[in-house]
Amino acid sequence: MIRFLTGFSANILQIMPKPEQMFYAVKRGRVPGIYSSWSECEKQVKGFTNPAYKKFGSHEDALGFITQNGTSTSQSIDQQNFNHGLEMMKISPITTSCISSDSSQRITGVSSAISACCPCTLSTFNIASLSSTVENMKDSMKNIVGVVEKLSVELAEVRSSVSNLEKNLFVVPGSKRSFSTSAMHANNEDQAKRPKFDCKVDHFTGKKFDQSDGTHVYTDGGCFDNGRNGARAGIGVFWAKNDPDNVSERLSGRPTNNRAEIHAAVRAIQIAKRKGILNLILHTDSQFLINGITKWIRGWKRNQWKKATGSPVINQQDFEELDRELRGINVKWVRLVLNLA
């Protein structure tokens, strides 16, 4: 009996029709292609805008649905297909959703879908355009790097110049410096028949005052490559250590030693007036500056800013500015003798 039932069951199974293999063609979806199960197909079309998919009984019919170019596809659909094709070019969706059981047929379907949904191929569009974009980005980066390097060099030069000015331009009394100033290398016209400076005589502008009633300030000015092309001048004003009103800055305009000395004094007097200082004791190593502002300026004014030789005063505008700043403040001018080596 058991043998009969076993044989009967086997015959029944052979007579029953086998389930038909279905193919799910996704024409518009996340990853167009041919899928062997509805669950795989559903992942590509569920939630996707305006999807196009259909179930077929044969692989050939499914492939024909994907590759057909019927009149029902408008330009907007073609544009969507183009975008779908770009999505298909991504490696991860193809490998994760297309390489499984029956992979040979499905990969063939995906390849056909790429041709149908994206007329451009990887070699003619994607790779070419990406390569062009990458090259353009490389050129842009090279230009940016070049600009940054140039700015870095210029910034280093500025920092070096500022450092040199801070170290050498202003000299605290008794220290040394290694570049020329008006006390060492003045213009030839200014050195001609210059009156001898008398250190025993006090030199004032404004009213005289006692030493104890004055506030001390030290000024200095100098010029690198004085009298040559590319000369640079700067000024320094020193009140006290770490005083916020100390000055070390580059001088604009014509760079000479004498101009730097004059404008260092101008800057000190401006600061003193802002501080409310009435009596100022200004220390400078420039004999030219002291003689000019305390002696020669009166004769220059009488002679319409001409020297005894008839030549014009080179630093007329500088002394005029200094003369204006001296209004409302008393200044004692002290010659500072440096220990130069």
The boundaries of every CATH 3.40.970.10 domain in the chain are 23-67
The separation between the first and the last C-alpha atoms of the chain, rounded to the nearest angstrom, is 131
- Which CATH number does 204-335 carry? 3.30.420.10
- pLDDT at residue 145 tops 70: yes
- pLDDT at residue 242 tops 50: yes
Mean pLDDT for the chain? 76
Percent of the chain with pLDDT over 90: 50
pTM assigned to the model = 0.45
The pLDDT value given to residue 134: 84
| 323: CB partners within 8 A, 6+ apart | 293, 297
Q: Note the pLDDT tens digit of each residue in 35-78.
A: 999 999 999 999 999 999 999 999 999 999 998 864 333 334 44
Burial profile 214-238: b = 16 or more Cβ within 10 angstroms, e = fewer = beebbbbbbbbebeeeeebbbbbbb
Cα separation of 86 and 89, whole Å?
5
- 243 is written with which tokens? 């005083």
- 33 pLDDT band (50/70/90 cuts)? very high
Single-letter amino acid code for the residue at 15:
I
Mean pLDDT of 121-140: 66
Percent of the chain with pLDDT over 70: 64
The pLDDT value given to residue 89: 46
Q: Note the pLDDT tens digit of each residue in 205-239.
A: 999 999 999 999 999 999 999 888 999 999 999 99
Paired strand residues for 8: none
- 99 is written with which tokens? 């390489």
The pLDDT value given to residue 7: 54
More confident call, 124 vs 221: 221
The pLDDT value given to residue 338: 64
204 neighbors 269 (Cβ within 8 angstroms): no
313 neighbors 300 (Cβ within 8 angstroms): yes
Mean pLDDT of 10-21: 57
The boundaries of every CATH 3.30.420.10 domain in the chain are 204-335
Mean pLDDT of 151-166: 77
**What CATH topology corresponds to 23-67?**
Ribonuclease HI; Chain A (3.40.970)
Mean pLDDT of 167-189: 45
The pLDDT value given to residue 173: 44
